[in-house]
Amino acid sequence: MSESSYKRLDHGDIEAIRAIIGDDTRLLYGVDLPEDYSHDELGGVASYPDIVVRVKTAQEVSRVMKYAWDNNIPVTPRGAGTGLVGSSVAMEHGIMLDTTLMDSILELDEENLTLTVEPGVLLMDLAAFVEDHGFFYPPDPGEKSATIGGNISTNAGGMRAVKYGVTRDFVRGLEVVLPDGRIVEFGGKVVKNSSGYDLKDLMIGSEGTLGVITKAILKLLPKPEKTLSLLVPFGTLQQAIDTVPVIVKSRHIPTAIEFMERQVIVDAEEYLGKPFPDKSADAYLLLKFDGSSQEEVDAAYEAVADLCLEQGALDVLISDTEEREESIWKARGAFLEAIKGSTTLMDEVDMVVPRNCVNDMVAYFDEVQAAAGLRIKSFGHAGDGNLHAYLLKDDLSDEEWKRRLDVAMELVYKKARELHGQVSGEHGIGFAKKPYLKEALPEADLELMNGIKAVFDPKNLLNPHKIAQA
């Protein structure tokens, strides 16, 4: 990174921000600044902001942003800090806007099937609220303690994407503070919209580089009456994954199709201290079905269960009680933490490939393990082609880890390109995946992205050095 021309905060700046916020307990700086704010859940990318401002309203965001604009101070928005690519790390210091206190659910509109929320609402609280009211917000990323603002900023996907799509598909409108402090709205409660360029979808997935999200109008669905899961053991991982395109082709679309290997299950059992219903097989598919009636769900799962057995599944375990459902999906939700617990440090890959290429990619991880000399664990969304592979440091020296990691990453992303995949399915690019985005996209795409960034943020103040930037 070249020497910065940004202003570092001085006493006067802090006083000015204090005057805007008027509440000392919401300003964190100096010795009071917790270490947590210097990084997200990814190790290896760290930088401290000069100050953290725990904003409460769009007006506050606007006024702080305007002050930063006038004084050439970089600003990094941050939700719960659960990101995995260093997106919410203040690479150029300056002001960090922590939105977690903006955690109100503002309106449930049952006539328009929308939920209006502040950006700091946690995904788990949002899901519980709508379900209590008989509704359903389908996006279901594994990290339930992420904020909805963070989910929108990365276009988080999750397990139900097979049937329902991703966060983008459930955002109808956004209130956004632009880098110069102006507050704008993109979209609204309307179901259709062809009124000029799609600024709303441009904001979604822009990782806090184009504006600060201060409100979101989400689309809801009626809550499915019935759900049911199948845990399907296979003799080999390849057999399990080869079954996925067969299911997709069969036209009985499950809500989720996940794959997992025995070792990850064992790690999760250990992490949770709870037994998993089955770990006798080498590999598993975990399928979820939902629908408006028992008949609908039964018809779908029975057809898919038969298909799995035809493809060589060892058994089909039906989970139709809430208790059993919870034990299975809780284990699935703990995979990442369990893998983390099994090593000293890790990095991750979140590529997405066409769903009939998942097996090519997973098989290739074995080659990469051997070629690069490090352990790789993968699990993920077999039904939508989004693979999470975790590269583990174990007891490698820092230097050796860095070297082997680079080799592995190069190989993995090269293969993803060959399979017409993309660098990120749901975690974003942030700081850590920039080199791979550059290799993956044609120069024209990168030029367009940086051009768009300059339109929104001509002073390059908002979350610099992310996505397509140097």
Using CB under 8 A, which residues numbered 318 to 347 contact a second copy? none
Tell me the pairing of strands 51-54 and 95-98: parallel
CB closer to a second copy, 37 vs 456: 456
Q: Which stretch binds a second copy (CB under 8 A): 228-236, 322-330, 371-379, 438-446?
A: 438-446
Contact indicator for 379, 264 with CB cutoff of 8 Å: yes
CA 88, CA 79: separation in Å to the nearest integer? 8
Q: C-alpha 107: how far from its chain's center?
A: 25
Q: Is 418 one of the binding residues for a second copy (CB under 8 A)?
A: no
Q: Which stretch binds a second copy (CB under 8 A): 93-101, 195-203, 267-275, 391-399?
A: 195-203
Between helix 237-250 and helix 294-310 the angle, nearest 10°, is 130
CB 157 → a second copy: shortest distance, Å? 4
Contact with a second copy (CB under 8 A): which of 47, 71, 112, 311? 112
* CB of 81 or CB of 233, closer to a second copy: 81
Number of residues that bind a second copy (CB under 8 A): 92
Using the structure block, give the residue that is written with the tokens 């441009």: 202
Is 116 a binder of a second copy (CB under 8 A)? no
Residue closer to a second copy (CB basis): 253 or 272: 253
Nearest approach, Cβ of residue 414 and a second copy (Å): 15
As measured in angstroms, the least distance from the Cβ of 428 to a second copy is: 5
- Which of 334, 352, 376, 412 binds a second copy (CB under 8 A)? It is 352
Distances in Å between the Cα of 263 and the Cα atoms of 214, 281, 284, 338, 377 are 42, 10, 11, 10, 9
Task: Measure the CA–CA gap between 278 and 240, rounded to whole angstroms.
Answer: 15
Q: Cβ closer to a second copy: 103 or 426?
A: 426
Task: Say whether residue 205 binds a second copy (CB under 8 A).
Answer: yes
Q: What is the nearest approach in angstroms of a second copy to the Cβ of residue 147?
A: 16
Task: Confirm or reject binding of residue 444 to a second copy (CB under 8 A).
Answer: yes
User: Among residues 19 and 190, whose Cβ is nearest to a second copy?
Assistant: 190
* Residues of span 122-181 touching a second copy by CB under 8 A: 134, 154-157, 161-162, 165-166, 168-169, 178
What DSSP string runs through 377-434?
A: EEEEETTTTEEEEEEE-TT--HHHHHHHHHHHHHHHHHHHHHTT-BSBSSS--TTTTH
Q: Does 73 bind a second copy (CB under 8 A)?
A: no
Is-contact 239 312, C-beta < 8 A? yes
Closest CA relative to residue 253, chosen from 342, 335, 404, 355: 355
Q: Which of 31, 32, 251, 322 binds a second copy (CB under 8 A)?
A: 251
CA distance 278 to 314: 12
CB of 201 to a second copy, least distance (A): 4
Site residues (CB under 8 A) for a second copy, limited to 293-322 = 293, 295-296, 299-300
Is 470 among the residues that bind a second copy (CB under 8 A)? Answer: no
Stretch that binds a second copy, among 19-27, 75-83, 242-250, 329-337 (CB under 8 A): 242-250
Residue 95 · residue 51 · CB < 8 Å: yes
> Per-residue x/- marks for a second copy, 26-65, CB under 8 A?
----------------------------------------
Pick 222 or 373: Cβ nearer a second copy = 222
Enter the tokens of residue 90.
């203040």
Closer residue to a second copy in complex, CB, 33/299: 299
Q: Which one of 12-20, 22-30, 203-211, 314-322 is the stretch in contact with a second copy (CB under 8 A)?
A: 203-211
CA atoms within 13 A on the CB side of 261: 14
Considering the rule CB under 8 A, would residue 420 count as an interface residue with a second copy? yes
Distance between CA 75 and CA 92 in Å, rounded? 9
Q: Which residue, 370 or 444, has its beta carbon nearer to a second copy?
A: 444
Closest approach, Cβ 151 to a second copy, in A, equals 11
Counting contacts by CB under 8 A, is residue 385 touching a second copy? yes
Name the one residue in this structure whose structure tokens are 């609280």.
125
Minimum distance, C-beta of residue 437 to a second copy, in the bound complex (Å):
6
Place of tokens 């309307």: 190
Name the residue nearer to a second copy (CB basis): 242 or 337.
242
Rounded CA-CA distance 463/292 in Å is: 43
Long-range contacts of the stretch 15-24 (C-beta < 8 A, 24+): 16/67, 17/51, 17/53, 17/64, 17/67, 17/95, 20/60, 20/63, 20/64, 20/67, 21/53, 21/55, 21/60, 21/64
Identify which of residues 33 and 183 has a Cβ nearer to a second copy in the complex.
183
Asked if residues 308 and 317 have their Cβ atoms less than 8 Å apart, the reply is no
> Nearest approach, Cβ of 464 to a second copy (angstroms)?
15
Contact 204, 226 (CB under 8 A): no
- Residue 213 engages a second copy in binding (rule: CB under 8 A): no
Q: Which is nearer to a second copy, 415 or 427 (CB)?
A: 427
